[in-house]
């Protein structure tokens, strides 16, 4: 990210602001997943917070979206939405989410849009968790 930011800084006009939103996972905030995945997401969050602090004075904001379970091929493990194995797994996942359901991909657009917009012009170094309440449960 540092090399890319250097290029952006060089190309940016004076006074412009850049917003970076890294997408991690709720697994970076609580140990819901395996050790390698959890560690990588903790690292991504830590790196983003460090970058936010380092680049804030240069007009660059860095934030993180940490989604919980989202209905994607990755979550389904490549299984079709009507596959009985996926339906059994989905039932278990939904029971672990206080809102009782898995998010749809479009539901992640709102937090990313906010973090990318001028409405969050004083927000940097934060993790927005969109997990249906899993971390707080």
Q: Which of 37, 72, 105, 121 is catalytic?
A: 37
Q: Catalytic residue at 37?
A: yes
In sequence order, the 6+-apart residues with CB closer than 8 A to the CB of 101 are: 94, 132
Q: Using the 8-state DSSP alphabet, how is residue 98 labeled?
A: T
Report which of 52, 75, 72, 47 is spatially closest to residue 62, judged by C-alpha positions. Answer: 52
Distance, in Å, from the CA atom of 87 to the CA atom of 28, rounded to the nearest integer, reads 26
Residue 67 phi, psi dihedral angles, 5° rounding: -75, 150
Q: Cα separation of 85 and 90, whole Å? A: 9
Q: Which residues does the annotation mark as catalytic?
A: 37
């Amino acid at each position: 990210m540092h090399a890319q930011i250097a290029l952006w800084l060089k190309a940016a006009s004076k006074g412009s602001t850049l917003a970076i939103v890294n997408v991690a996972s709720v697994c970076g905030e609580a140990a819901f997943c395996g050790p390698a995945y959890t560690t990588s997401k903790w690292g991504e969050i830590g790196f983003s917070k460090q970058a936010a602090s380092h680049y804030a004075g240069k007009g660059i904001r860095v934030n993180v979206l940490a989604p919980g379970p989202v209905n994607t091929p990755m979550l389904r493990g490549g299984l079709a939405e009507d596959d009985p194995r996926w339906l059994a797994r989905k039932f278990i996942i939904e029971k672990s989410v206080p809102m009782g359901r898995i998010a749809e991909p479009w539901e992640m657009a709102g937090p990313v849009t906010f973090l990318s917009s001028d409405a969050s012009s004083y927000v940097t170094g934060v993790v927005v968790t969109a997990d249906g309440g899993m971390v707080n449960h």
